[in-house]
Copies of this chain bind each other. A is one copy, B any other.
Amino acid sequence: MTAFWDSLYSGAARNIKPSPIRDMLQSCRKPGMISFAGGMPDPAIFPVEQFAEAASILRTEGRDILQYGATEGYAPLKDFLASWCAPRLGRKVDSDEMLITSGSIQGADLMTMATLNPGEYVITEAPTFLGVTTDMYNHGAKFLCVPCDEEGMLVDRLPALIEGARSEGKTVKFIYTIATFQNPCGATMSLERRKALVRIAREYGVAIFEDDPYGYVRFDGEHLPTLFSLDGGEHVIYAGSFSKILAPGTRVGWCCGDRDLIRKMVVFKQGVDTCTSVVAQALVYQYAKLGHLDAFLPKIIGHYRAKRDVMMESFAEYLPAGEARYTKPEGGFFFWLETPNIPVDALFDQAIARNVAVVKGVPFYPNGDGGDHHCRVCFTFASADAIREGVKRLGDAMRELL
C-alpha cells in the first residue's frame, strides 16, 4: 500500500524531517544503556505520592474536569499560574494573555502556525533545541542562526542578520531563544545582552519567542529578569512548562503574550486538540494548590545540582586531559561537550558500543552547519553512580579515538 499512500503525501510532507528526540528518548529505555541523551528528568525524583494525592480532584470536581474544557485552559490553573509566574514575568498577566498548552513545545508550534508563511525566517541560537526547530522546518521555516558564547546568543550580530535578510526581500518573523540554561549549550544570556535583545526586537519590529522550560531550575547565583519582564510582554511571547519542575508525562505547559496573538493561537489549538487534557490540567492545578509545587522545587534543584557536580567531577577524573571543553551550567539539564580532536560521529559509535548514549551535536544546528565535534550530555536522568560509570566509558571511548 505504500505506493498508494506515497502518492498522497504533499510536497511538504514528502520532505518532513523526523525529530531525533523520539529515538533519543527510546535509547534511554534500552536495558543496560547509560543514557545522557534525552533531556529527561530523573524518575527517582518524581513526586509520585504527592501527585497521586492530587487525584482527589477527580472525585471532587469530576463532573467539571471530565467535560470539554475551554481551549484557553482550565481557569483555576490559569489563575494559579498568573500569580505564581508574576515574579518571573515581572507582572501578573491577564487571563486573555495566557494559553495553557500541551507541553511548552506546543506553544512554539502554535506560534509558528499563527505567524509563519513557508519560506520565511526564524532566527535562532546555534546550537538550539532541535525539537522546536524540526517542527518549524516541517512548517516551512528557514533559519538564520546566531552563535552563542558563555553569555548566550551574540545579540550584536542580529541587526546585520535582519538587515541582510530584508535587503534580499526576505521576512524575519521572530527570534526563538532559550535565554536561560540554554538547550543544548547550557549558557545563560547576560543581563546586558537581554536588554540589547529586547531593544533590537523593538527597533526592528521582530517578535521574540522566549522558551523557558528550565528557568526555575537554577543551581547557583541569582535569577536574571526574563526577556518578557524586560519588555513587559509587548514583543515577547513567553513559554513555560511543568515538564522540568513537576513531570513531563503531564504534558502541561503555558504561553503568555500579546492577547491578539494568543487568540490566533487558540484558533489553531481548537483544531489541533480542542483543549489540553482537562484531567491533566486539573491534577497539576491540585498538586500546585496543595503546596507541592513550591515545596518540591528546592528538592528538584538540590537533586540536579548534585548530579551536575558529580558529572563535572567525573569529567575531570575520566576524560582525557585537554581533550574536552565544557562550561559549568548554572542550571538546567545539560553539558555541551566539545571534543576538538574527535569527530562526534566516531565518538558516538564508540560510546554506543560501550552502552553509553549522548546526542550528536549536528542536529542542534538548524542549518546543519556545526556541531560535528560536539555532543549534548544530560546529567539529570542517570543516577550518580551511572553518571560516574557513563563518563568513565565516555573517556574510554575518547581515548580509543585519540
Q: Does A273 lie within 8 Å of B43, measured CB to CB?
A: no
Q: Does A234 lie within 8 Å of B4, measured CB to CB?
A: yes
Tell me whether A353 is interfacial, beta carbon within 8 Å.
Answer: no
Tell me whether A326 is interfacial, beta carbon within 8 Å.
Answer: no
Q: Cβ of A136: which chain B residues have Cβ within 8 Å of it?
A: 271
Tell me whether A22 is interfacial, beta carbon within 8 Å.
Answer: yes
The answer for the CA separation of A8 and B64 in the assembled complex, in Å, is 37
Q: Does B19 lie within 8 Å of A273, measured CB to CB?
A: no
Q: Cβ of A295: which chain B residues have Cβ within 8 Å of it?
A: none
Which among B17, B205, B247 is the interface contact of A66 at CB below 8 angstroms? B247
Q: Cβ of A70: which chain B residues have Cβ within 8 Å of it?
A: 22, 25-26
Per the 8 Å Cβ criterion, residues 194-223 of A in contact with B are 205, 207
- Contacting chain B: which of A48-56, A328-336, A337-345? A48-56
Q: Does A51 lie within 8 Å of B58, measured CB to CB?
A: yes
Q: What are 26 A-B pairs with beta-carbon distances under 8 A? A: A1-B235, A4-B234, A8-B115, A9-B264, A13-B114, A16-B267, A40-B68, A49-B62, A51-B66, A66-B246, A67-B248, A67-B249, A68-B248, A68-B249, A102-B276, A134-B271, A135-B268, A135-B272, A138-B271, A248-B274, A251-B274, A251-B275, A251-B279, A276-B277, A279-B280, A280-B280
In the complex, besides A12-B117, A102-B102, 18 extra interface pairs with C-beta distance below 8 angstroms are A1-B235, A1-B260, A4-B234, A6-B260, A10-B117, A10-B120, A13-B113, A13-B264, A18-B270, A22-B270, A40-B67, A43-B63, A44-B63, A58-B283, A66-B250, A67-B247, A106-B273, A251-B276
